[in-house]
Chains A and B, each alone.
Chain A
Amino acid sequence: EIQAILMNTSARLFRRFPFTLTCAARLSPADFHSPFLACSSGQFVASTRKLHVEPKSSPAGAPERLPFSKVTDEDLAYFRKILPGRTITDPDLVESSNVDWLKTVKGSSEVLLRPQTTEEVSQILRYCYNRNLAVNPQGGNTGLVGGSVPVYDEIILSTSLMNNILTFDNISGILTCQAGCVLENLSLYLEERDYIMPLDLGAKGSCQIGGNVATNAGGLRLLRYGSLHGTVLGLEVVLADGRVLDCLATLRKDNTGYDLKQLFIGSEGTLGVITAVSILCPRKPKSTNVVFLGCETFEELLKTFQLCRGMLGEILSAFEFLDSECMRLLNTHLKLPNPISDCPFYIVIETSGSDPDHDSQKLDNFLEEAIASTFVTDGTVATEESKIKALWSMRERVTEALTHDGFTYKYDISLPVERIYQLVTDMRQHLGDRAKSVVGYGHVGDGNLHLNITSPAKDPALLAAIEPFVYEWTASCQGSISAEHGLGLKKRNYIYYSKPSQAVALMGNIKAMLDPKGILNPYKTLPDNLK
């Protein structure tokens, strides 16, 4: 039984959040030479192993291959010299690094490099820069916008073997580690020392901290601990020409010149390869509670949010929502029963604090007020492990339920909080019978909606109805067409919906300055028509 309890405790650590999958938008299965796979119910379409040469570019299709050099035997000999045993060319081994997690995009790289040190990364990039060879940095390969895999024959530079924790200061809570450390491993390391990582997401078992930083990953704790732009204190980055930029400070405050690390956070591997990270970690909470509430209208949900902020503010660590359509899918496909009565909207609230007695007092006061105010029509509370997990799974497993409902078009949108659900309502009205289910859920506390639309099978007509309607709607509220996932390959051309052209032009200038030959993760993040 001690085993069972240990499992229950460790199960708490492996709390999983759903992948916020985004739509494989604009995929064109028609073009056989395209590196995109047809995403039909997870079918895996193998692409040819030869290098792609001059595919036709269509509005929805792959960008043309830029004139980078191609890998020669001499190149391989050099790589094998500096990375003995870690220069992979066996097609079977390179295969999995060529395909993204969603199995919707596939490249045709023939070389996978696995450095162990910053020095090796520097040597690789210096060589590739001189030879004009394109490089695709890759961490855990869990990205959802096709940014982590090659489009053509870019050399894959994997950080997987750079997985050492360098230092941890348990007074300041500052952790430094190599970029290839898996997020979950870092969490386990820290939990033993009574700390936690400032971010947590569903992919934690595979994603690496370097990739998290490169994509400015959000996740469930953002509401409480803020984004990586705030919690990352320093970075060590190797630039396109091999120069090592050492900004790996472990200082909480350092206003000496321009804060260069901010450029690389969220740059998706296009400005430099992150090789080490120093990050500020919060203490592990002593008391966690989860509340599951039901509301009649979205307005009342927002009022509950305000009440919550006011009464639970300092202990609030998550505020998520799902709609009744999500609950229907959970009931139908996963046989998960509703913990409370049927309501149009559901909220999951989590509190984390240092004193169980204080927290339950605050929580009780909030709940009494919430019921009295009639913002909330029903609800339940969990204070212990298995119940907490059960309530969280109502939110976490929506993605899984959606996969059983049919082919899913996924959108990850940032909007002003009060407008979040309007998009779902408008989309439902706009699509009418054309869609099977239209659901909304997500990090309402952060203004981040996950809009998902299902149909029995992949449906180009439905896609045409959804896009660009969803992007235009988002742009009309000055929202973001990609709240957390980044642009990668799939969304690079939609950047103008959320950023003015001046801004995008300046991004192009910065890219040109840091990577004049454009060898770092080409075809990603910035739009094709950038001058």
Chain B
Amino acid sequence: MHSNRYCNRIIVLPFSVLLEIRVKPDNSGVVTDGVKHSMNPFCEIAVEEAVKLKEKKLIKEVVAVSCGPQQSQETIRTALAMGADRGIHVEVAGKDYETLGPLQVSKIMAALAKKEDAQLIILGKQAIDDDCNQTGQMTAALLDWPQGTFASEVSLDGDKVKVVREIDGGLETIKISTPAVLTADLRLNTPRYATLPNIMKAKKKKIANVKPADLGVDLTSRLEVLKVEEPPQRQAGVKVETVEDLVGKLKETGRI
């Protein structure tokens, strides 16, 4: 029997990622001005999972949190259209946003989790633009909560969570107690399309504005990006007319 005492509130952290990557001319980073953002695919899966749990009446409320500049609000709206109840936009802009990394985000999440009295935090396993795969784990460590990462299956059982994890060797099933942090992997679910009625409803849902300072979080980065480079350009192949030419070219380039 499920008790509503547990799993009252889930916080999901949908992140927005850049859709087009171009390296800045001075190799100091990637261009972010005017580049379209969209919700990180793994975070979509996380939001979907949270909404599913709410639909199964296992939890009461889903809160979507995003950290970033003004356009992060769009990502929150998408989460609301998928079924989240309310949103929190943690405003981080300009220089701070450029250096915002997993450590800073997990500090913010930890602070929010305590403030909101959440029982579950669900995130995407990693962001597809930086591939860090650290935020979930760091958040759990800061809160001293158990973590179920790379989840491909999640089920709530009283005050415990059963998580099937995708690992190199296959699948690992663990049982952890709440409150807990989960990170979503590809096969956890297929995110739903937000239907029009929900998209319209989402416009009326609340998004609260919070500053990191309000949460007592220090955003200074401990990392310095030295250089960002594009991978080497792919060289075009050479077409040859005859087998003799092929052998000749192979010899020329020292391959045989």
Contact = CB atoms under 8 A, between A and B. Distances in A.
B19 interface: yes
Interface of A: 1-6, 8-9, 292-293, 339-340, 356, 364, 367-368, 370-371, 376, 378-387
A379 B196 contact: yes
B124 interface: no
Contacts of A3: 231
Contacts of A4: 128
A5 B20 contact: yes
B55 interface: no
Given A1-B128, A4-B128, A378 B21 contact: no
A9 B19 contact: yes
Contact of B200 (A5, A9, A368, A384): A368
B32 to A, nearest CB: 13
Contacts of A339: 193
Contacts of A387: 193
Q: 10 closest A-B pairs (Cβ-Cβ)?
A: A384-B38, A380-B193, A379-B196, A339-B193, A1-B131, A2-B21, A5-B21, A1-B128, A9-B20, A380-B195
B18 interface: yes
Given A379-B196, A384-B19, 5 more contacts: A3-B231, A5-B18, A371-B197, A371-B200, A384-B36
10 contacts: A2-B21, A3-B231, A5-B17, A5-B18, A8-B19, A293-B196, A340-B193, A364-B203, A367-B199, A367-B200
Interface of B: 17-21, 36, 38-39, 41, 128-131, 193-197, 199-200, 203, 230-231
A378 B17 CA distance: 29
A385 B38 contact: yes
B36 A356 contact: yes
Given A9-B19, A386-B41, A381 B130 contact: no
A61 B128 CA distance: 58
A134 B196 CA distance: 58
Contact of A381 (B18, B20, B194, B231): B194
Contacts of B38: 383-385
A6 B21 contact: yes
B66 to A, nearest CB: 15
A382 B20 CA distance: 17
Given A2-B231, A5-B128, A5-B129, A381 B196 contact: yes
Contacts of B199: 367, 380-381
Nearest to B198: A380
Given A367-B196, A371-B200, A385 B19 contact: yes
A484 to B, nearest CB: 30
Contacts of A381: 194, 196, 199
B194 A1 contact: no
Contacts of A340: 193, 195
Contacts of B128: 1, 4-5
Contacts of A385: 19, 38
A178 B195 CA distance: 46
A345 to B, nearest CB: 16
Contacts of B131: 1
Contact of A380 (B17, B21, B39, B196): B196
B214 to A, nearest CB: 28
Contacts of B39: 384
A340 B197 CA distance: 11
Contacts of B230: 2
A382 B195 CA distance: 10
A370 B200 CA distance: 12
A275 B102 CA distance: 57
Nearest to A356: B36
Contacts of B231: 2-3
Nearest to A367: B196
A174 B39 CA distance: 37
A323 B203 CA distance: 31
A356 B35 CA distance: 11
Contacts of B195: 340, 378-380
A349 to B, nearest CB: 12
A343 to B, nearest CB: 12
Given A9-B19, A368-B200, A371-B200, A380 B129 contact: no
Nearest to B34: A286
Nearest to A2: B21
B15 to A, nearest CB: 13
Contacts of B36: 356, 384
A385 B37 CA distance: 10
Contacts of B203: 364
A386 to B, nearest CB: 7
A2 B129 CA distance: 7
A247 B194 CA distance: 52
Contacts of A386: 41
Contacts of A370: 196
A385 B128 CA distance: 14
B21 to A, nearest CB: 5
Nearest to B132: A1
A5 B197 CA distance: 31
A1 B130 contact: yes
Contacts of B20: 5, 9
A1 B129 contact: yes
B73 to A, nearest CB: 12
A87 to B, nearest CB: 16
Contacts of B196: 293, 367, 370-371, 376, 378-381
Contacts of A356: 36
Contacts of B200: 367-368, 371
A1 B203 CA distance: 32
B47 to A, nearest CB: 14
Nearest to A287: B36
Nearest to A9: B20
Contacts of B18: 5
A293 to B, nearest CB: 8
A376 B199 CA distance: 15
Nearest to B195: A380
Contacts of B17: 5
A378 B199 CA distance: 11
A448 B230 CA distance: 45
Nearest to A387: B193
A114 to B, nearest CB: 15
A8 B196 CA distance: 26
Nearest to A85: B241
A461 B131 CA distance: 60
